[in-house]
Amino acid sequence: MILEKAFYNPFLIHSTDVMIDLLTDSGTSAMSSNQWAGIMQGDESYAGSPSFFRFEKTIQDITGFPLVIPTHQGRAAEKILFSILGGKGKYIVSNTLFDTTRANIEFSGAEGIDLICEEGKHPTVPAPFKGNMDVEALKTFIAQKGAANIPICIITITNNSGGGQPVSMQNIKDVKKICTENNIPLFIDACRFAENAYFIKLREKEYAYRSVQEIARELFSYADGCTMSAKKDAFANIGGFLAMRNEELAQQCRNLLIMTEGFPTYGGLAGRDLEAIAIGLHEVMDEHYLHYRIRSIEYLTNKLIAAGVPVMQPAGGHAVYLVANEFLSHIPVEQYPGQALVGALYLHGGIRTVEIGSLMFGKYNDDGKLIPPIGTGSPGHS
Protein backbone atom coordinates (compact mmCIF):
# COMPACT_ATOMS: atom_id res chain seq x y z
CA MET A 1 0.00 0.00 0.00
CA ILE A 2 1.25 3.47 -0.92
CA LEU A 3 0.46 4.97 2.48
CA GLU A 4 2.23 2.16 4.34
CA LYS A 5 5.32 2.46 2.13
CA ALA A 6 5.36 6.18 2.94
CA PHE A 7 5.21 5.34 6.67
CA TYR A 8 1.91 7.29 6.80
CA ASN A 9 3.85 10.45 6.00
CA PRO A 10 2.18 12.39 3.14
CA PHE A 11 5.48 14.11 2.32
CA LEU A 12 6.90 10.71 1.29
CA ILE A 13 4.10 9.93 -1.16
CA HIS A 14 5.07 10.41 -4.80
CA SER A 15 3.03 13.18 -6.39
CA THR A 16 2.13 10.83 -9.25
CA ASP A 17 0.23 8.74 -6.68
CA VAL A 18 -1.93 11.69 -5.62
CA MET A 19 -5.32 12.55 -7.14
CA ILE A 20 -5.85 15.94 -5.45
CA ASP A 21 -2.79 17.56 -3.88
CA LEU A 22 -3.58 19.90 -0.99
CA LEU A 23 -0.29 19.39 0.84
CA THR A 24 0.74 23.03 0.54
CA ASP A 25 0.40 26.23 -1.45
CA SER A 26 4.14 26.84 -1.16
CA GLY A 27 5.74 27.13 -4.59
CA THR A 28 2.83 25.42 -6.31
CA SER A 29 1.03 28.44 -7.80
CA ALA A 30 0.75 28.76 -11.56
CA MET A 31 2.89 31.69 -12.61
CA SER A 32 1.42 34.39 -14.82
CA SER A 33 2.29 35.05 -18.45
CA ASN A 34 4.14 38.17 -17.32
CA GLN A 35 6.24 36.11 -14.93
CA TRP A 36 7.11 33.62 -17.65
CA ALA A 37 8.05 36.50 -19.92
CA GLY A 38 10.22 37.89 -17.13
CA ILE A 39 11.93 34.53 -16.74
CA MET A 40 12.99 34.69 -20.38
CA GLN A 41 14.58 38.09 -19.73
CA GLY A 42 16.45 37.07 -16.60
CA ASP A 43 20.08 38.17 -16.57
CA GLU A 44 22.40 35.51 -15.15
CA SER A 45 25.40 37.70 -14.33
CA TYR A 46 27.06 36.42 -11.17
CA ALA A 47 27.22 39.86 -9.57
CA GLY A 48 25.25 43.05 -10.12
CA SER A 49 22.63 41.58 -12.45
CA PRO A 50 19.89 43.97 -13.70
CA SER A 51 17.43 41.31 -12.53
CA PHE A 52 18.62 41.81 -8.94
CA PHE A 53 18.20 45.56 -9.11
CA ARG A 54 14.62 45.17 -10.38
CA PHE A 55 14.01 42.67 -7.55
CA GLU A 56 15.57 45.03 -5.00
CA LYS A 57 13.61 48.10 -6.15
CA THR A 58 10.31 46.20 -6.13
CA ILE A 59 10.81 45.12 -2.52
CA GLN A 60 11.97 48.58 -1.49
CA ASP A 61 8.90 50.16 -3.11
CA ILE A 62 6.47 47.72 -1.44
CA THR A 63 8.01 47.50 2.01
CA GLY A 64 9.98 50.70 2.45
CA PHE A 65 12.97 48.67 3.70
CA PRO A 66 16.15 49.97 2.05
CA LEU A 67 18.32 46.87 2.56
CA VAL A 68 17.29 43.78 0.56
CA ILE A 69 19.03 40.40 0.70
CA PRO A 70 17.84 37.60 -1.64
CA THR A 71 17.76 33.98 -0.45
CA HIS A 72 16.73 30.74 -2.12
CA GLN A 73 13.79 30.25 0.31
CA GLY A 74 12.15 31.88 3.31
CA ARG A 75 13.74 29.34 5.66
CA ALA A 76 17.16 30.38 4.39
CA ALA A 77 16.39 33.97 5.39
CA GLU A 78 15.34 32.68 8.82
CA LYS A 79 18.48 30.58 9.15
CA ILE A 80 20.68 33.60 8.51
CA LEU A 81 18.71 35.94 10.78
CA PHE A 82 18.48 33.62 13.76
CA SER A 83 22.07 32.42 13.43
CA ILE A 84 23.02 36.03 14.14
CA LEU A 85 20.33 37.06 16.64
CA GLY A 86 19.58 33.73 18.34
CA GLY A 87 21.59 31.77 20.86
CA LYS A 88 21.29 29.97 24.15
CA GLY A 89 19.34 31.83 26.83
CA LYS A 90 17.46 34.00 24.34
CA TYR A 91 13.75 34.09 23.59
CA ILE A 92 12.14 35.00 20.26
CA VAL A 93 8.48 35.93 20.66
CA SER A 94 5.74 35.76 18.05
CA ASN A 95 2.01 35.51 17.52
CA THR A 96 2.66 31.98 16.21
CA LEU A 97 5.88 30.72 14.67
CA PHE A 98 5.76 28.46 11.64
CA ASP A 99 7.57 25.12 11.86
CA THR A 100 10.72 26.04 9.93
CA THR A 101 10.91 29.35 11.79
CA ARG A 102 10.76 27.60 15.14
CA ALA A 103 13.27 24.99 13.97
CA ASN A 104 15.80 27.64 12.98
CA ILE A 105 15.28 29.45 16.30
CA GLU A 106 15.77 26.27 18.31
CA PHE A 107 18.78 25.25 16.21
CA SER A 108 20.46 28.48 17.29
CA GLY A 109 19.87 27.53 20.94
CA ALA A 110 17.13 30.11 21.50
CA GLU A 111 13.53 29.36 22.46
CA GLY A 112 10.54 30.32 20.33
CA ILE A 113 7.52 31.63 22.26
CA ASP A 114 3.99 31.82 20.83
CA LEU A 115 1.74 34.51 22.28
CA ILE A 116 -1.45 34.08 20.27
CA CYS A 117 -4.47 36.15 21.29
CA GLU A 118 -7.31 34.50 23.22
CA GLU A 119 -9.60 34.43 20.17
CA GLY A 120 -6.99 32.43 18.28
CA LYS A 121 -7.21 29.62 20.84
CA HIS A 122 -10.77 28.75 19.85
CA PRO A 123 -10.76 27.45 16.27
CA THR A 124 -14.51 27.19 15.64
CA VAL A 125 -15.49 30.52 17.26
CA PRO A 126 -15.37 33.31 14.62
CA ALA A 127 -13.47 36.53 15.27
CA PRO A 128 -12.09 38.99 12.70
CA PHE A 129 -8.39 38.92 13.66
CA LYS A 130 -7.59 35.61 15.31
CA GLY A 131 -3.97 35.87 14.20
CA ASN A 132 -3.23 38.75 16.58
CA MET A 133 -0.53 38.66 19.22
CA ASP A 134 -1.65 38.89 22.85
CA VAL A 135 -0.20 42.28 23.79
CA GLU A 136 -0.75 41.83 27.54
CA ALA A 137 1.00 38.47 27.42
CA LEU A 138 3.84 40.15 25.52
CA LYS A 139 4.23 42.80 28.24
CA THR A 140 4.21 40.14 30.95
CA PHE A 141 6.74 37.96 29.14
CA ILE A 142 9.13 40.88 28.64
CA ALA A 143 8.82 41.78 32.32
CA GLN A 144 9.53 38.19 33.34
CA LYS A 145 12.44 37.40 31.03
CA GLY A 146 13.94 40.84 30.48
CA ALA A 147 14.06 42.75 27.21
CA ALA A 148 17.82 42.12 26.94
CA ASN A 149 17.08 38.41 26.49
CA ILE A 150 14.59 39.00 23.65
CA PRO A 151 16.58 39.95 20.54
CA ILE A 152 13.61 40.09 18.19
CA CYS A 153 9.81 39.94 18.04
CA ILE A 154 8.14 38.43 14.96
CA ILE A 155 4.60 38.82 13.68
CA THR A 156 3.54 36.19 11.13
CA ILE A 157 1.05 37.51 8.56
CA THR A 158 -1.24 35.84 7.95
CA ASN A 159 -0.85 33.51 10.92
CA ASN A 160 -0.38 30.22 9.07
CA SER A 161 -0.03 27.87 12.02
CA GLY A 162 -2.99 29.62 13.64
CA GLY A 163 -5.31 28.72 10.78
CA GLY A 164 -4.32 31.29 8.17
CA GLN A 165 -5.87 34.00 10.29
CA PRO A 166 -5.06 37.70 9.74
CA VAL A 167 -3.41 40.20 12.05
CA SER A 168 -4.99 43.64 12.43
CA MET A 169 -3.15 46.86 11.75
CA GLN A 170 -4.03 47.98 15.28
CA ASN A 171 -2.38 44.90 16.73
CA ILE A 172 0.77 45.55 14.72
CA LYS A 173 0.80 49.14 16.02
CA ASP A 174 0.30 47.96 19.60
CA VAL A 175 3.09 45.38 19.36
CA LYS A 176 5.39 47.94 17.77
CA LYS A 177 4.79 50.35 20.65
CA ILE A 178 5.72 47.71 23.21
CA CYS A 179 8.80 46.69 21.23
CA THR A 180 9.94 50.29 20.88
CA GLU A 181 9.55 50.90 24.62
CA ASN A 182 11.75 47.88 25.29
CA ASN A 183 14.24 48.38 22.43
CA ILE A 184 13.25 45.09 20.78
CA PRO A 185 13.35 44.98 16.95
CA LEU A 186 10.07 43.99 15.29
CA PHE A 187 10.20 41.83 12.16
CA ILE A 188 7.36 40.62 9.94
CA ASP A 189 7.14 37.11 8.55
CA ALA A 190 5.66 38.45 5.32
CA CYS A 191 5.02 35.35 3.24
CA ARG A 192 1.32 36.29 2.89
CA PHE A 193 1.49 40.06 3.33
CA ALA A 194 -0.97 40.82 0.50
CA GLU A 195 -3.51 38.36 1.86
CA ASN A 196 -3.25 39.98 5.30
CA ALA A 197 -3.49 43.49 3.82
CA TYR A 198 -6.69 42.52 2.02
CA PHE A 199 -8.23 41.19 5.25
CA ILE A 200 -7.36 44.50 6.91
CA LYS A 201 -9.17 46.29 4.08
CA LEU A 202 -12.22 44.07 4.60
CA ARG A 203 -12.33 44.08 8.41
CA GLU A 204 -10.87 47.35 9.73
CA LYS A 205 -13.26 50.15 8.82
CA GLU A 206 -10.67 52.88 8.53
CA TYR A 207 -8.91 50.93 5.76
CA ALA A 208 -11.98 50.13 3.65
CA TYR A 209 -11.08 52.69 0.99
CA ARG A 210 -7.32 52.20 1.05
CA SER A 211 -5.56 50.14 -1.62
CA VAL A 212 -3.77 46.92 -0.74
CA GLN A 213 -0.50 48.60 -1.73
CA GLU A 214 -1.11 51.46 0.72
CA ILE A 215 -2.10 49.09 3.51
CA ALA A 216 0.96 46.92 2.92
CA ARG A 217 3.27 49.94 2.96
CA GLU A 218 1.80 51.14 6.27
CA LEU A 219 2.00 47.65 7.72
CA PHE A 220 5.71 47.39 6.93
CA SER A 221 6.35 50.92 8.21
CA TYR A 222 5.86 49.70 11.80
CA ALA A 223 8.54 47.00 11.43
CA ASP A 224 12.31 47.03 11.46
CA GLY A 225 12.56 44.30 8.85
CA CYS A 226 10.98 41.20 7.39
CA THR A 227 11.62 37.71 6.14
CA MET A 228 9.65 36.31 3.25
CA SER A 229 9.16 33.08 1.40
CA ALA A 230 8.41 34.22 -2.14
CA LYS A 231 6.83 30.80 -2.76
CA LYS A 232 3.60 32.13 -1.24
CA ASP A 233 2.50 35.70 -2.00
CA ALA A 234 4.85 36.13 -4.95
CA PHE A 235 3.60 33.05 -6.88
CA ALA A 236 7.19 31.93 -7.45
CA ASN A 237 8.31 28.31 -7.51
CA ILE A 238 11.36 29.19 -5.41
CA GLY A 239 12.90 32.16 -3.61
CA GLY A 240 12.76 34.46 -0.63
CA PHE A 241 14.44 37.43 0.95
CA LEU A 242 15.47 39.35 4.05
CA ALA A 243 14.80 43.09 4.17
CA MET A 244 15.61 45.56 6.94
CA ARG A 245 16.68 49.04 7.97
CA ASN A 246 19.74 48.26 10.14
CA GLU A 247 22.94 48.47 8.07
CA GLU A 248 25.09 46.71 10.68
CA LEU A 249 22.74 43.74 10.89
CA ALA A 250 22.40 43.65 7.11
CA GLN A 251 26.17 43.43 6.70
CA GLN A 252 26.31 40.51 9.13
CA CYS A 253 23.53 38.82 7.17
CA ARG A 254 25.30 39.38 3.85
CA ASN A 255 28.52 37.87 5.24
CA LEU A 256 26.65 34.72 6.25
CA LEU A 257 24.73 34.76 2.96
CA ILE A 258 27.98 34.48 1.01
CA MET A 259 28.98 31.37 2.96
CA THR A 260 25.60 29.64 2.77
CA GLU A 261 23.56 30.95 -0.16
CA GLY A 262 25.58 32.97 -2.64
CA PHE A 263 26.70 36.47 -3.54
CA PRO A 264 24.54 39.29 -2.09
CA THR A 265 23.02 40.14 -5.47
CA TYR A 266 21.73 36.65 -6.22
CA GLY A 267 21.56 34.85 -2.88
CA GLY A 268 21.13 31.36 -4.25
CA LEU A 269 18.66 32.38 -6.96
CA ALA A 270 18.96 32.51 -10.71
CA GLY A 271 18.36 35.88 -12.36
CA ARG A 272 15.18 34.51 -13.93
CA ASP A 273 13.82 33.71 -10.46
CA LEU A 274 14.57 37.23 -9.27
CA GLU A 275 12.54 38.52 -12.23
CA ALA A 276 9.61 36.20 -11.52
CA ILE A 277 9.49 37.23 -7.85
CA ALA A 278 9.60 40.94 -8.65
CA ILE A 279 6.68 40.60 -11.05
CA GLY A 280 4.71 38.32 -8.72
CA LEU A 281 5.02 40.72 -5.79
CA HIS A 282 3.18 43.36 -7.80
CA GLU A 283 0.60 41.00 -9.25
CA VAL A 284 -0.41 39.51 -5.90
CA MET A 285 -1.73 42.89 -4.77
CA ASP A 286 -4.40 42.89 -7.50
CA GLU A 287 -7.61 43.12 -5.47
CA HIS A 288 -9.64 41.16 -8.02
CA TYR A 289 -7.26 38.26 -7.57
CA LEU A 290 -7.29 38.53 -3.78
CA HIS A 291 -11.10 38.64 -3.76
CA TYR A 292 -11.25 35.47 -5.86
CA ARG A 293 -8.69 33.64 -3.73
CA ILE A 294 -10.19 34.51 -0.36
CA ARG A 295 -13.76 33.98 -1.54
CA SER A 296 -12.86 30.51 -2.86
CA ILE A 297 -11.56 29.46 0.56
CA GLU A 298 -14.62 30.98 2.22
CA TYR A 299 -16.93 29.07 -0.13
CA LEU A 300 -15.43 25.69 0.73
CA THR A 301 -15.30 26.55 4.44
CA ASN A 302 -19.00 27.44 4.45
CA LYS A 303 -19.90 24.22 2.64
CA LEU A 304 -18.08 22.20 5.29
CA ILE A 305 -19.77 24.12 8.10
CA ALA A 306 -23.16 23.41 6.51
CA ALA A 307 -22.25 19.72 6.42
CA GLY A 308 -21.44 19.76 10.13
CA VAL A 309 -17.67 19.55 9.76
CA PRO A 310 -15.75 21.55 12.42
CA VAL A 311 -13.41 23.98 10.68
CA MET A 312 -11.39 27.05 11.56
CA GLN A 313 -13.73 30.05 11.51
CA PRO A 314 -13.80 32.44 9.86
CA ALA A 315 -12.08 31.17 6.72
CA GLY A 316 -8.46 32.09 6.23
CA GLY A 317 -7.06 33.27 2.93
CA HIS A 318 -5.10 30.34 1.52
CA ALA A 319 -6.28 27.09 3.13
CA VAL A 320 -9.18 25.36 4.84
CA TYR A 321 -8.32 24.06 8.31
CA LEU A 322 -10.31 21.11 9.65
CA VAL A 323 -10.42 20.84 13.45
CA ALA A 324 -9.51 17.19 13.66
CA ASN A 325 -9.69 16.72 17.43
CA GLU A 326 -13.39 17.69 17.22
CA PHE A 327 -14.12 15.93 13.94
CA LEU A 328 -12.51 12.72 15.25
CA SER A 329 -13.30 13.22 18.92
CA HIS A 330 -13.12 9.46 19.56
CA ILE A 331 -9.36 9.52 18.89
CA PRO A 332 -7.29 10.69 21.89
CA VAL A 333 -5.04 13.66 21.17
CA GLU A 334 -1.93 11.60 21.95
CA GLN A 335 -2.91 9.34 19.03
CA TYR A 336 -2.82 12.28 16.62
CA PRO A 337 -6.34 12.64 15.23
CA GLY A 338 -5.06 15.16 12.66
CA GLN A 339 -2.66 12.66 11.18
CA ALA A 340 -5.34 9.98 11.25
CA LEU A 341 -7.56 12.30 9.21
CA VAL A 342 -4.72 12.90 6.73
CA GLY A 343 -4.44 9.14 6.23
CA ALA A 344 -8.19 8.66 5.88
CA LEU A 345 -8.51 11.39 3.24
CA TYR A 346 -5.77 9.81 1.18
CA LEU A 347 -7.23 6.31 1.49
CA HIS A 348 -10.72 7.50 0.61
CA GLY A 349 -9.98 9.77 -2.33
CA GLY A 350 -6.26 9.99 -3.03
CA ILE A 351 -6.33 13.45 -1.44
CA ARG A 352 -3.02 14.52 0.05
CA THR A 353 -3.31 16.95 2.96
CA VAL A 354 -1.09 17.87 5.91
CA GLU A 355 -1.50 17.95 9.68
CA ILE A 356 -0.72 21.25 11.40
CA GLY A 357 -1.18 20.40 15.04
CA SER A 358 0.22 18.05 17.66
CA LEU A 359 2.39 16.05 15.28
CA MET A 360 3.94 19.14 13.71
CA PHE A 361 4.10 21.38 16.77
CA GLY A 362 3.51 19.19 19.82
CA LYS A 363 6.18 18.58 22.43
CA TYR A 364 6.72 16.03 25.18
CA ASN A 365 7.28 16.64 28.87
CA ASP A 366 9.91 14.88 30.95
CA ASP A 367 7.54 11.94 31.48
CA GLY A 368 7.03 11.47 27.74
CA LYS A 369 3.48 12.86 27.76
CA LEU A 370 2.37 14.85 24.74
CA ILE A 371 1.89 18.61 25.19
CA PRO A 372 -0.41 19.73 22.34
CA PRO A 373 0.17 23.20 20.87
CA ILE A 374 -2.08 25.88 22.34
CA GLY A 375 -4.98 26.97 20.17
CA THR A 376 -4.69 24.31 17.50
CA GLY A 377 -5.55 21.14 19.41
CA SER A 378 -4.70 18.90 16.50
CA PRO A 379 -6.18 20.35 13.34
CA GLY A 380 -5.78 18.71 10.00
CA HIS A 381 -5.03 21.28 7.30
CA SER A 382 -6.11 20.90 3.72
Consecutive H or E run containing 173? helix 169-181
Give the pLDDT confidence score for residue 381 in this predicted structure.
38
Over residues 205-216, mean pLDDT: 96
Q: 379 pLDDT exceeds 70?
A: no
Query: Can you tell me the distance from the alpha carbon of 225 to that of 155, in angstroms, rounded to the nearest whole number?
Result: 11
Give the pLDDT confidence score for residue 26 in this predicted structure.
82
**How remote is the C-alpha of 278 from its chain's centroid?**
19
* Residues in a beta bridge with 243: 68, 226
Give the pLDDT confidence score for residue 374 in this predicted structure.
64
Burial-class residue 134 by CB neighbours within 10 Å (0-12, 13-18, 19+): buried
Confidence of residue 28 (pLDDT cuts 50, 70, 90): confident
Query: Can you tell me the distance from the alpha carbon of 41 to that of 4, in angstroms, rounded to the nearest whole number?
Result: 45
Global pTM exceeds 0.85: yes
Give the pLDDT confidence score for residue 330 in this predicted structure.
93
Over residues 84-89, mean pLDDT: 95
Give one DSSP letter per residue of 195-259, joined into a string. HHHHHHHHH-GGGTTS-HHHHHHHHHHT-SEEEEETTSTT--SS-EEEEES-HHHHHHHHHHHHH
Instruction: Look at 19-28, 31-40, 280-289 and tell me which has the smallest mean pLDDT.
Output: 19-28
Give the pLDDT confidence score for residue 275 in this predicted structure.
96
In this structure, is the dihedral angle defined by the CA atoms of residues 157, 79, 371 and 145, taken in order, positive or negative? negative
Give the pLDDT confidence score for residue 375 in this predicted structure.
53
% of the chain with per-residue pLDDT over 70: 97
Q: 376 pLDDT exceeds 70?
A: no
Burial-class residue 3 by CB neighbours within 10 Å (0-12, 13-18, 19+): middle
Which has the closest alpha carbon to 243: 190, 293, 290?
A: 190
Q: Domains in the chain, ordered, with CATH?
A: 2-25+319-381 (3.90.1150.10), 33-283 (3.40.640.10)
Instruction: Look at 28-32, 33-37, 106-110, 343-347 and tell me which has the smallest mean pLDDT.
Output: 28-32
Query: Can you tell me the distance from the alpha carbon of 297 to that of 80, in angstroms, rounded to the nearest whole number?
Result: 33
Q: 367 pLDDT exceeds 80?
A: no
pLDDT per position as a tens digit, 261-292: 999 999 999 999 999 999 999 999 999 999 99
Give the pLDDT confidence score for residue 345 in this predicted structure.
93
Q: 370 pLDDT exceeds 80?
A: no
pLDDT per position as a tens digit, 70-79: 999 989 999 9
Instruction: Say what the alpha-carbon torsion angle 312, 287, 42, 69 is, to the nearest 10 degrees.
Output: -60
Give the pLDDT confidence score for residue 135 in this predicted structure.
97
**Bigger pLDDT: 218 vs 363:** 218
CB 155 within 8 Å of CB 120? no
Give the pLDDT confidence score for residue 339 in this predicted structure.
92
Over residues 215-219, mean pLDDT: 97
Give the pLDDT confidence score for residue 220 in this predicted structure.
97
Over residues 158-168, mean pLDDT: 89
Query: Can you tell me the distance from the alpha carbon of 224 to that of 64, in angstroms, rounded to the nearest whole number?
Result: 10
Which has the closest alpha carbon to 374: 144, 173, 137?
A: 137
Over residues 86-107, mean pLDDT: 93
pLDDT per position as a tens digit, 287-337: 999 999 999 999 999 999 999 999 999 999 888 999 988 999 999 888 889
**How remote is the C-alpha of 311 from its chain's centroid?**
20
Give one DSSP letter per residue of 274-306, joined into a string. HHHHHHHHHHTT-HHHHHHHHHHHHHHHHHHHH
**What single-letter amino acid sits at 238?**
I
Q: 378 pLDDT exceeds 50?
A: no
Which has the closest alpha carbon to 250: 242, 260, 239?
A: 242
Using DSSP bridges, classify how beta strands 351-352 and 20-21 pair: parallel, antiparallel or unpaired.
Answer: parallel
Confidence of residue 238 (pLDDT cuts 50, 70, 90): very high
Query: Can you tell me the distance from the alpha carbon of 188 to that of 283, in angstroms, rounded to the nearest whole number?
Result: 20
State the angle between helix axes of 50-63 and 271-283 in degrees (0 to 180), rounded to the nearest 10: 30
Confidence of residue 16 (pLDDT cuts 50, 70, 90): very high
Q: 65 pLDDT exceeds 70?
A: yes
**How remote is the C-alpha of 115 from its chain's centroid?**
16
CB 202 within 8 Å of CB 165? no
Contacts of 296 (CB under 8 A, 6+ apart): none
Consecutive H or E run containing 91? strand 91-94
pLDDT per position as a tens digit, 103-142: 999 999 999 999 999 999 999 899 999 999 999 999 999 9
Give the pLDDT confidence score for residue 171 in this predicted structure.
97
Query: Can you tell me the distance from the alpha carbon of 58 to that of 54, in angstroms, rounded to the nearest whole number?
Result: 6
* Residues in a beta bridge with 112: 92
